[in-house]
Amino acid sequence: MLRFHDPEPFRSAGRPYAAAAQAGNTVYLAGQLPVVIENGERRVVAPGDMAAQARQVFENLRAVLRGLGGDLGDVAWIHVLVTDIGERLKMDPVRREYFGEPGPPATLAEVRALVLPEAMIEVTGIAVIGDG
């Protein structure tokens, strides 16, 4: 059975999609941006600071997973989109901080733009929660 999850504060952001979809133990995570949500409005944190933006993205992923009874240790794969591949070296230490080493398999791609102009990074992924 497929279930969609949209925990607060993500639900109040007025997005037309859920933060995650769960099929059995597998969770498909919507792309998370470096935003905080205040009063239903998204605000990009630390424009121009890749490390701070990466930290916020991983905190947002963690919040979605915790809402489902999981955590970042349940992540099986991530897909990282950045607007400047040269900034990757500023993101990598933050990723290690959140996922350890080795972290989950990852795909990294540079894109021309993200949906919010000040965002430098977006991360999506797949997690497996409760798989003994």
Q: What is the pLDDT of residue 12?
A: 56
Q: Which CATH superfamily is domain 2-128 in?
A: RutC-like (3.30.1330.40)
Half-sphere exposure of 27 toward its Cβ, with a 13 Å CA cutoff?
31
Report pLDDT for 41.
78
Contact 91, 54 (CB under 8 A): yes
Task: Look at residue 15 in the predicted model and tell me its pLDDT.
Answer: 67
Give me the residue spans of the domains in the chain: 2-128
Rounded alpha-carbon distances, angstroms, from residue 54 to 10, 17, 121: 18, 22, 7
Q: Which residues of the chain have pLDDT under 70?
A: 8-15, 131-132
The CA distance from 44 to 20, in Å, is 20
pLDDT score of 5 = 79
Alpha-carbon distances, residue 45 vs 5, 50, 79, 100 (angstroms): 24, 10, 20, 24
CA angle 33, 39, 43 (to 5 degrees): 30
